[in-house]
Structure 1
Amino acid sequence: MTSRTIRRRLHHGDVGGKNHEHLKGVDMDDLNEPLLGNKNDEYKAKELEVKRLEDILYDEQRKERLHWTFLFSHIISEWAQWLAKLLLGSGSFIARILTSPSTNGGGATKKYLPPILTPLQEARLRNLQKRLEVPFDGSCLEHQDALRELWRSAYPNRELPGLKSELWKEMGWQGNDPSTDFRGGGFISLENLIFFAHTYPEAFQNLLNKKDGNRAEWEYPFAVAGINISFMLVQMLDIQSGLPSSRSGLRFLQFLINDESAFDELYCVAFKLMDAHWLARRASYMEFNEVIKSSRLQLERELAIEDVTCVKDLPAYNLLR
């Protein structure tokens, strides 16, 4: 019962059935909430009881509001996690939006929500990022052995030269010391070349010896081009640190589910694709940067294709066969 109800009953004479007996000579307009001017103990007791009931009611309502607030927050949290997982599905409507052309009016690469990775994806991504952090060190025995392995893969029937030799120029290094050409490419770019030579030896030899198509008089240097392609892929996939947020980077994360060597595989495709663009443009050495850019654009378009779930699904992969 509220104080307003008590006041209304006073006006109608229904409190204790006394029909206004206690209000004789009192102006009804002088009754102000919460009736504090009345000294009657009965009314004061009722007023205290009303206040106590109101406090209890308020307390219950507050608890109920807190309960529903917590419940609503929990539902929102669960829904957000479900939505994040939904975004990973390449067949979903939302995923098709995420993998559509994604540059804004200013030409900057559009960013997307980071996905929720499986433990296997996380481990493979961390391993790749650790590889990216390793610079090439010409004084490191492991790195020296890797250079020798590259030479043996490229020229299995030739004598292995010293680590500093004019013969390295034949592979497409700019000087007699290959270690000076890595710069920002890091050790992973050498690993990429070795992987290419071991996994697709015929395609590797065709590129190394420029066997396909009508070549320019001033060709791109094979080994240095390979380092540039490694660097291009790292930039395009946005994988150097943290979680990728580019369209191509998100698709690449899906590749890691089934293929630990997805980056090396993609490197082979990108190298062969770059050479195809080179031949199509009848390019010369001075146009190399433009060829790299056009190759990257095509690779990004192919990565955006809905049904592409691994490197071998890319149309450009057929160039390796």
Structure 2
Amino acid sequence: MDSRTLRRRLHHGDVDGGRYDRFETSRVDSLNEPLLGIRDLDYDRHAEDQLLGDALDDQRRKEHLHWSLIFSNVLAQWAQWLATVVLASGSLFGRILPFISGMQNGENNFQPVILSSLQKERLKQLKERLSIPFDGTSSEHQDALRQLWRLSYPDRPLPALKSEVWKDMGWQGSDPSTDFRGGGFISLENLIFFAETYPDSYQSLLHKIDGNRSDWEYPFAVAGINISFMLVQMLDLQSGNVSSKAGQQFLELLAEDGMAFDKIFCVAFKLLDAQWLAKRASYMEFNDVLKSTQLQLEREMALEDVLSVQDLPAFNLLRSRNW
């Protein structure tokens, strides 16, 4: 495998790779093993009576199931009718009953929620940011790259926009603009926000200060682009209506903080590095660690007491002097 192939593995195209499952399936696989009986049941003279009793029990269960299905269908129709009536009033129940209807139909996906005007405006602004690709010829984007360098290396001279020195930050080539691809301009904004808002945590990741590091580390800047892309997918931000569980939970966080996406990016980056160290991972395992990071974020966002980004348990990974 040549170096170009290795470099390509860290781009956004690998985010949905199949190797992610290895960190989460070991325990699940063990639960899927058949449960085998450990006793031999001897046939005796009461066998016929037992078979007759089993037949009667089966008949009772069938009758119970029949009436349960009738009741369930009636309940589903009632909930659907009530949802239609209450939705028109715009009350709190209007936000809850669509979920009941989905549960009655056996669906795991969530129906669109009713957004406040503040949520709509902040979501619109975020999607506008997501729609901007990185443009290496734009003076604004060039200035943003220079700003990131100054924040990262305040004591070093600013290099040309195409220079081998950019590799020190974790870009894969001499021209950082070639590494953005699907990450877009927002991924650069995320890195700048991280460097400005939590400078100590940012510097510790940039310079790989914490823990016993692998000899073959992940490239810092490219990792940030992959994290931005992962969050967009996880939070379902590219769809017309956010319908994933994590995406709807994010909308609640967005109502509390207009910079929720950028802050979750910082949390995700610290969480990725913590899992990287815990797993003693190396370059080729980056995608596995990224997927593990996504799963952990989804679990934390689902906690009942998480009402803001600061409530996420992983937020504690950001050093307290930066808060």
Instruction: Give the alignment's TM-score, normalised by structure 2.
Output: 0.69
Compare relative contact order (CA 8 Å, sep 6+) and give the higher one, 1 or 2. 2
Query: Quick check: 1:79 aligned with 2:86?
Result: yes
Secondary structure at 2:92 match in 1: helix
Match of 2:246 in 1: 248
Structure 1: distance between partners of 2:224 and 2:280: 19
Structure 1: distance between partners of 2:139 and 2:188: 14
Deviation per CA, 1:11-36, whole angstroms, max 9, x where unpaired? xxxxxxxxxxxxxxxxxxxxxxxxxx
Residues 206, 270 of structure 1: alpha-carbon distance in 2 compared, 3 angstrom cutoff: same
Residues 77, 86 of structure 1: alpha-carbon distance in 2 compared, 3 angstrom cutoff: closer
- How many residue pairs get matched? 236
Cα deviation, residue 76, structure 1: 5.7
Q: How does 1:151-170 map to 2 (within 5 A)?
A: 151-170=149-168
- Checking the alignment, whether the CA contact within 8 Å between 2:86 and 2:94 is kept in structure 1 is no
Match of 1:130 in 2: 128
Match of 2:217 in 1: 219
Match of 2:227 in 1: 229
- Checking the alignment, whether the CA contact within 8 Å between 2:87 and 2:93 is kept in structure 1 is no
Structure 1: distance between partners of 2:145 and 2:91: 43
Structure 2: distance between partners of 1:148 and 1:181: 16
Match of 2:140 in 1: 142
Residues 86, 280 of structure 1: alpha-carbon distance in 2 compared, 3 angstrom cutoff: farther
Cα deviation, residue 84, structure 1: 7.5
Q: How does 1:28-67 map to 2 (within 5 A)?
A: none
Structure 2 residue runs without a partner (length 5+):
1-79
Instruction: Give the alignment's TM-score, normalised by structure 1.
Output: 0.69
- Checking the alignment, whether the CA contact within 8 Å between 1:189 and 1:227 is kept in structure 2 is yes
- Checking the alignment, whether the CA contact within 8 Å between 2:83 and 2:94 is kept in structure 1 is no
- Checking the alignment, whether the CA contact within 8 Å between 2:86 and 2:93 is kept in structure 1 is no
Cα deviation, residue 78, structure 1: 3.7
Deviation per CA, 1:286-313, whole angstroms, max 9, x where unpaired? 0000000101000000011011111100
- Checking the alignment, whether the CA contact within 8 Å between 2:242 and 2:248 is kept in structure 1 is yes
Structure 1: distance between partners of 2:302 and 2:81: 34
Identity between Structure 1 and Structure 2 (%): 62
Match of 2:261 in 1: 263
Secondary structure at 1:316 match in 2: helix
Match of 2:172 in 1: 174
Structure 2: distance between partners of 1:141 and 1:119: 34
Deviation per CA, 1:176-208, whole angstroms, max 9, x where unpaired? 000000000000000000000000000000000
Structure 1: distance between partners of 2:153 and 2:91: 49
Aligned-residue Cα RMSD (Å) equals 2.5
